[in-house]
Amino acid sequence: MHPRPGHGNRWEILVADDDPAAIALLKAVLSGLDVTITGAETGAATLEIIKSHPPGLVLLDLIMPDVRGLELLDQIQQLSPETDVILITAHYSTESAVEAIQRGAFDYLTKPISIDKLRQKIIAWTEQKQRRTAAHELESKLVEISQCEGLLGMSPAMMEVFSRMQRIAPHYSTALVTGETGTGKEVLARVLHQLSPVSEGPFMVCNCAALPETLFESELFGHIRGAYTGAVDTKKGLVEAADGGTLFLDEIAEVPVSVQAKLLRLLQNRQFQRIGDPTPRKVNVRIICATHRNLRTMVDERLFREDLYYRLAHVELRLPRLVDRQDDLRLLVHHFLTRFGDQFGKPGLVLSRAAKALAWRYPWPGNVRELENSLNYCAMMCRGNVIDVEDFPESISRYKLEGSRAITFSTDEGLVPLEEVERRYVQEVLDRVQGNRTKAAEILGIGRATLYRILGRTGRPEPESGSLAKKSQPA
């Protein structure tokens, strides 16, 4: 056990017992462990300490002179939810022990206390506390790093990605990031590196699509002098440069088939050779690969080695499309408008109602990157601080005129429920009649109340429909 003291009162234990001799005994018994121990002889004194200086753990005697132990347990938990309690019962009383656990006690012990049992329980507590603290620290680190690296998201789909990242980060050696173009694969790779134990090491990017086949191997593994014509000097490759950190292989699907076997060796044993050099070398790198392609299909078409695929697909993080995370659209629009508003000296930049409706209808095939670039363009083009439909790049503003999109019945996760199809169809009709709800209800043969109910079914932030026909106003 290596409890780390010094972080608040994490490793402090309060012994609450009306018998000073019992406190002294527990202090003596626990003195070998790396914890600090204080004592309190009454319920009131216990609560005073909990209020002023909450410990990590209370060893609480069920029978205190001024208050019932179980009541004290409740009060401790209310005052300091982070404090754990191990209850000590004088006589064996299953009822109160069970009740204590039900009421949230960490554990219980019966008097006369077995010293071995007590030590075991304290060790179990410190170990669990350490795990909980590590998980908690990783969680706040994830929030902090995601924000500073710019991986925003609060949709259920992104929360799932964050949760998976958090579990993967301490342990992975190779990870695959997939998702359509512009969904944030590179940003995610950087966050994953920051969360990993090698965050202090380098983060080297190899864009596998940008290199001609002949140069690829040398770029990745390096070469020795005279290895081939033009190799005038010995050169280290990206693999070596990433030693002690992370190698990010972007567009992994584009790796030439001829190099895939060598890549597999690197993934399997962290071994490689510089071109022209027979000596195998070892590196200590985490490898993150990314692709927007479907590797499984490429395997079937014999364009990608199956064994390499299985090595990679083992730990996969899949980024959702932007249309499948409408909750994030609002967040991202706000984020980019704030950024570009500052950049172009147009503070308080907003979308007009019509522009908002357009942004929510448009399918964003280029995902976050397309949204970012478009809003950058809008921010530059708009005259005041209200962005209108005409300020969008033409390919997007025209989308309004072409009107309807095909209603999709599926998402990445599979087919959508009937209710959702119904909602999408109602939305489509509404869009086609420029948001005129009376007209839409008429076409659909339903009442306006039913129409509202259907539209209100998802948590999707609805922009004001009906705005397309009206003169635009600021949102």
Residues that bind ligand ATP (CB under 6 A): 150-153, 179, 181-187, 292, 332, 368-369, 372
Nearest residue to ligand ATP, by Cβ distance, number only: 184
Nearer to ligand ATP, 179 or 237 (CB): 179
Nearer to Mg ion, 186 or 462 (CB): 186
Nearer to ligand ATP, 368 or 451 (CB): 368
- Number of C-beta neighbours around residue 460 at 10 A: 17
What is the total count of residues that contact Mg ion (CB under 5 A)? Answer: 2
Given Mg ion, ligand ATP, none, residue 153, with its beta carbon under 5 to 8 Å by kind, binds: ligand ATP
CB-CB contact of 182 with 370 (8 Å): yes
Closest approach, Cβ 339 to ligand ATP, in A, equals 10
Q: Rounded CA gap, 71 and 99, in Å?
A: 11
Closest approach, Cβ 184 to ligand ATP, in A, equals 3
Nearer to ligand ATP, 152 or 429 (CB): 152
* Helix, strand, or coil (residue 135): helix
DSSP 153-206: --SHHHHHHHHHHHHHTTT-SEEEEE-STTSSHHHHHHHHHHHSTTTTS-EEEE
Residues forming a β-bridge with 90: none
Nearer to ligand ATP, 277 or 327 (CB): 327
Nearer to ligand ATP, 49 or 288 (CB): 288
CB-CB contact of 199 with 286 (8 Å): no
Q: What is the rounded end-to-end Cα distance, in angstroms, of the chain?
A: 57
Given Mg ion, ligand ATP, none, residue 351, with its beta carbon under 5 to 8 Å by kind, binds: none
* Helix (H), strand (E), coil (C) string for 390-421: HHCCHHHHHHHHHCCCCCCCEECCEECCHHHH
For 127, 248, 314, 441, 444, the CA distances from 172, given in Å and listed in that order, are 23, 14, 10, 53, 52
Closest approach, Cβ 330 to ligand ATP, in A, equals 13
> Which of 18, 99, 160, 186 contacts Mg ion by CB under 5 A?
186
Given ligand ATP, Mg ion, none, residue 182, with its beta carbon under 5 to 8 Å by kind, binds: ligand ATP
Nearer to Mg ion, 238 or 441 (CB): 238
Closest approach, Cβ 292 to ligand ATP, in A, equals 4
Q: Rounded CA gap, 139 and 445, in Å?
A: 50
Given Mg ion, ligand ATP, none, residue 368, with its beta carbon under 5 to 8 Å by kind, binds: ligand ATP
Among 184, 121, 227, residue whose Cα is nearest residue 368: 184
Interface region with Mg ion, contact rule CB under 5 A, candidates 99-107, 179-187, 374-382, 466-474: 179-187
Q: Rounded CA gap, 352 and 309, in Å?
A: 46
**What region does 140 belong to: left with phi over 0, alpha with psi -120 to 50, or beta?**
alpha
Given Mg ion, ligand ATP, none, residue 54, with its beta carbon under 5 to 8 Å by kind, binds: none
> H or E element: which one contains 312?
helix 306-313
Nearer to ligand ATP, 181 or 395 (CB): 181
String of contacts with Mg ion for each residue 341-370, x by CB under 5 A: ------------------------------
Given Mg ion, ligand ATP, none, residue 423, with its beta carbon under 5 to 8 Å by kind, binds: none
Nearer to ligand ATP, 372 or 391 (CB): 372
Closest approach, Cβ 155 to ligand ATP, in A, equals 10
Q: Per rule CB under 5 A, is residue 160 in the interface with Mg ion?
A: no
For 194, 200, 210, 379, the CA distances from 197, given in Å and listed in that order, are 8, 8, 29, 40
Residues in contact with Mg ion by the rule CB under 5 A: 185-186
